[in-house]
């Protein structure tokens, strides 16, 4: 399958929480050359308050290389934010995921 390995590290080791940022950055640069039918999105994922999620989202938005997504959880997010609140974020997320 074309492009399958575009996001894999060039070394045999897999990316983990201990992977240096520069290695992840190299991987992101490789992904930015993915086929036109592919899209790379940073998806803001995690449990926590709305304010904490928005703060993390704005931190990620400082990197302009990728559009952003936002994930909400039916059970863990209380209260569950309305889609209109998520769409009001700047920059606006290109993906909103409810799990």
pLDDT single digits (tens) 85-97 = 999 999 999 999 9
In whole angstroms, give the CA distance from residue 91 to residue 62: 10
Three-state SS at 44 = strand
pTM of the predicted model, to two decimals? 0.60
What are the pLDDT digits (tens) for 16-37?
A: 444 444 554 555 555 555 567 7
């Amino acid at each position: 399958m074309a492009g399958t390995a575009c996001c894999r590290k060039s070394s045999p080791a897999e990316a983990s929480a201990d992977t240096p940022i520069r290695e992840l950055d190299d991987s992101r640069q490789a992904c930015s050359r993915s086929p036109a039918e592919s899209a790379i999105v940073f998806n803001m994922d995690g449990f926590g308050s709305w304010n904490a999620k928005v703060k993390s989202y704005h931190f990620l938005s400082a990197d302009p290389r990728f559009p952003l997504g936002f994930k909400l959880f039916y059970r863990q997010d209380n209260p569950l934010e309305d889609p209109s609140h998520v769409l009001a974020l700047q920059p606006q997320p290109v993906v909103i995921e409810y799990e």
